[in-house]
Chain A
Amino acid sequence: MSCQTTAQAAELPKVNESGAGEKNPKVVAFLCNWCSYAGADKAGASQLPVPQELSVIRVMCSGRLEPTLILEAIQKGADGVMVLACHPGDCHYKEGNLRAFCRAELLERMLPQLGVDPRRFSFDYVSAAEAEKFSRITTEFVERVRSLG
């Protein structure tokens, strides 16, 4: 779910190849209770790998997250932040995930203005059944953040 244009991305610093893998990035993932957190639990029950660098913070709904909280996470030292929501139409609270999506779109546009590589932020949907997707996208995101140095 990226609204980042290629032109904007091109202006950003290149991936730090030399720094790749040198440190363990700090990655925070905000998960909504009903879908994504349940998907993460299912990844556990299925014993699928989840990066050890990932720190999950549970919220009842992705709609609870104000963009400033995500910026605060970065300010406090997070190398990457994920927001995972219910799929459109599946929100336990009807439409909180759609609010979260709109806020994510705005945040992604704002991050470069603040000097933050928008690749350090990711918004995605994970259902309660998508254990494999949770495992895959968290692993990929941690690797992406690691490669950014």
Chain B
Amino acid sequence: MSVSAKTAVILCTCSGFINERIDWEKVQALLAGHPAKPLFKIDSLACGVDNLEQLVPWLRSEKPQRVVVAACSPREHEGTFRKLLADAGINPYFLQMVNVREQISWVTAAPQAATAKAARLLAGALSRVQRHQPLEARSVPVRTEVAVIGAGPAGMQAALTLAKAGRKVTLIEREPFIGGLPVRFEELFPNMECGPCLLEPVMGELLHGPESGQVQLLTLAEVTGVKGGFGNWSLTVRQRARYIDAELCIGCMICAEVCPQRRPNGWNASGEMAAVDVPFAGALPNLPHIDADVCLRLNGSEECAACQAECPVEGSLRFDQEEREYGIDAGAIIVASGAVELQEIPAPFAGLADVHTAYSFERLLAMNGPSGGELLGENGSAPKSLAIVQCAGSLDPDGISYCSGTCCRTALKYAHLVLGKAPGIAVSRLFREQSAPGVDAGRQFHHGQEGGVRYRSFAELAVENGPGGRTISVAGGASVAAEMIVLCRPIVPGDGTAALARLLELDRDQGGFIAQSHPLSGSCASPLKGVYLAGACRGPGDIREAFATGTAAAGLALSELVEGRDLIVDPQVASVEPSLCAGCKSCLQLCPYKAISWDGAEKRAAVADLLCRGCGTCVAACPAGAITGRGFSRDMLRAELEGVLS
């Protein structure tokens, strides 16, 4: 770039704030000999609407090739002056600002020193701006469809919010049914609301509501491949066979009644179900599914046709159904893959009878659970005592160090519910710490403090069998009756979280949950542009949070991908000069936004401008100098350095 480009320099006085310390006449004299031959103009308030209006014709008549504005912080008005340049027909990136107000006139007492400093920093800007390149913001058409991974409350809420805004949504669920965990909960804290009653209208709306046509629901489906980027993702989704024709089946479940085969019901954490069955009454979509390993026909044991013979709708059972692969194109992805309670039972409780996790106890209390909602022990009768051990594995600095934040309210809920199921039952809660946040939960908290026992570490709990029955004792402390035991185990990322994070190239936090763009201000977005987060994949949370973050993630997708509005790509990003790239791959690991990809055929790196946020870490790291930061290039920084040091 020529060093003699005609450069206009606007010297703002900021209504007297700047020229109180800086003598603009003297600055002009000091810079008169600068090779850029600056054309100065003093302005009383350059950012003022009237002043800007007058600057446009001045710039149009003078036709400078570069513009320097010495005024306030670029953090405040860089956008204003870029627009001024654009209005005057000059490429907006031919601008350089000098922050003479905040960083000179307000911090330098002596006018002479302030004036000298202003001249020095202006010299830097004059040199730098010569190196500026004309940049064009690229405009890219975007897809506005959204793929939502996980059909729990968060994913359903996100999908419905998007569908109501007219968006096409693909809702991808790994389980054979939707609703996530709480659809299996009889009552929800803090107000003992019926879980299915809360969720069924939401599920109904999703499946049959006015916007249901906007939503493609894929159950028994998992994402197996991800390509592309913000505005244009391409997902491969593999759907396992249900062996049921979803269009024909009326969901009468006669097939389950006549099926000769049984399998453990993992969704109930106990009991059995038929090879063709639903895991619990009320699961939606109202369709059974067949476990091919257990079904005699599908596992090749024999030509069983018991279900087919009794099915009232011919053709509903489809033994020939195969796994299907879908290609899903979407502009954004919402991850709502949830979390689970750790189900392994630790010592000293492992192997004992009538020991539940919070999840298996939840199912025991549910009307559609293994015992029809009756509180029964393994001997078939109601227990006389219940001990709920909270923090069972949490708050452990050597293990799961965090508090899951929901178990106290769950335990208080159980303590309340069992009184109705087994009148007279003695309930104790053992905990290391208690946390029941929220206005509504206050009542729950204060009504449930009887029978509370504090323990310090899980290791000091012992189970003893005495003449009075089984007890849990705290070393050197209380001992409580514990005919039935519930362990509130830590909430951890769901099984598929690690694999999904790998596929989407998302980082995970210390707990293994999907890392958020910012823990406070960006908790519903991942650092990867166009991937948003909802619900407990972000960390343990309750249903309220799932609904709220589902709405929030949908809102982010709606605001960033608008029908008919192209994506404007900031041109001040990094770019690789292919002829200089040595193929060392140093940059690939450095980019926090996965914006750099590897071209295996050409053996060189490439930056996706859609994903790059312009931090320049790769620019600094490239040993070959092959990466340029457009808008912050090595040339520009060097020129500025030379200018201020001259």
Query: Contact residues of A with B, CB < 8 Å?
Result: 26, 28, 33, 37-38, 40-41, 43-45, 47-50, 52, 55-61, 63-66, 69, 72-73, 76-78, 92-96, 99, 103, 135
Q: Separation in Å of the B104 CB from the closest CB of chain A?
A: 8
Among B114, B527, B592, B641, which residue has its beta carbon within 8 angstroms of that of A57? B641
Chain A neighbourhood of B75, CB < 8 A: 33, 37-38, 41
Q: Separation in Å of the B78 CB from the closest CB of chain A?
A: 10
Chain B neighbourhood of A57, CB < 8 A: 124, 637, 640-641, 644
Among B106, B121, B616, B629, which residue has its beta carbon within 8 angstroms of that of A47? B106
Answer whether A44 and B615 are a contact pair too, CB < 8 Å, given A59-B632, A99-B621, A103-B620: no
Nearest neighbor of A128 in chain B, beta-carbon distance: B75
Query: Contact residues of B with A, CB < 8 Å?
Result: 73-75, 99, 101-103, 106-110, 113-114, 116-117, 120-121, 124, 527, 590, 592, 613-617, 619-621, 629, 632, 634, 637-638, 640-642, 644-645
Among B110, B527, B620, which residue has its beta carbon within 8 angstroms of that of A63? B620
Among B615, B620, B645, which residue has its beta carbon within 8 angstroms of that of A77? B645
Chain A neighbourhood of B117, CB < 8 A: 52, 55
Q: Cα distance A93–B517 when bound, in Å? A: 9
**Main secondary structure on chain A at its contact with chain B?**
mixed
Name the residue in B73, B116, B614 with the highest tally of chain A Cβ atoms < 10 Å from its Cβ.
Answer: B73
The answer to whether A48 touches B107 (Cβ under 8 A) is: yes
Name the residue in A43, A52, A72 with the highest tally of chain B Cβ atoms < 10 Å from its Cβ.
Answer: A52
The answer to whether A28 touches B641 (Cβ under 8 A) is: yes
Answer whether A41 and B616 are a contact pair too, CB < 8 Å, given A73-B641, A95-B592: no
13 pairs, A vs B, C-beta closer than 8 Å: A28-B641, A41-B75, A44-B101, A55-B117, A58-B74, A59-B632, A64-B619, A69-B641, A93-B613, A93-B617, A96-B592, A96-B615, A99-B617
Q: Cα distance A95–B507 when bound, in Å? A: 13
Q: Cα distance A61–B616 when bound, in Å? A: 7
Chain B neighbourhood of A52, CB < 8 A: 108, 110, 113-114, 116-117
Q: Separation in Å of the A29 CB from the closest CB of chain B?
A: 10
Answer whether A93 and B592 are a contact pair too, CB < 8 Å, given A28-B641, A66-B620: yes
Q: Cα distance A59–B620 when bound, in Å? A: 12
The answer to whether B617 touches A76 (Cβ under 8 A) is: no
Q: Cα distance A72–B83 when bound, in Å? A: 34
Chain B neighbourhood of A94, CB < 8 A: 527, 592
Q: Separation in Å of the A66 CB from the closest CB of chain B?
A: 4
The answer to whether B644 touches A28 (Cβ under 8 A) is: yes
Q: What 4 A-B pairs are tightest by C-beta distance, nearest first?
A: A44-B102, A64-B616, A63-B617, A93-B615
Name the residue in A38, A58, A65, A77 with the highest tally of chain B Cβ atoms < 10 Å from its Cβ.
Answer: A58
Chain A neighbourhood of B73, CB < 8 A: 37, 41, 44
The answer to whether B110 touches A41 (Cβ under 8 A) is: no
Nearest neighbor of A61 in chain B, beta-carbon distance: B615
The answer to whether A50 touches B108 (Cβ under 8 A) is: yes
If A44-B107, A47-B106, A64-B632 are given as contacts, then 5 extra A-B residue pairs at C-beta distance below 8 Å, sorted by A number, are: A41-B73, A61-B616, A78-B641, A96-B617, A99-B620
Chain B neighbourhood of A43, CB < 8 A: 102, 107
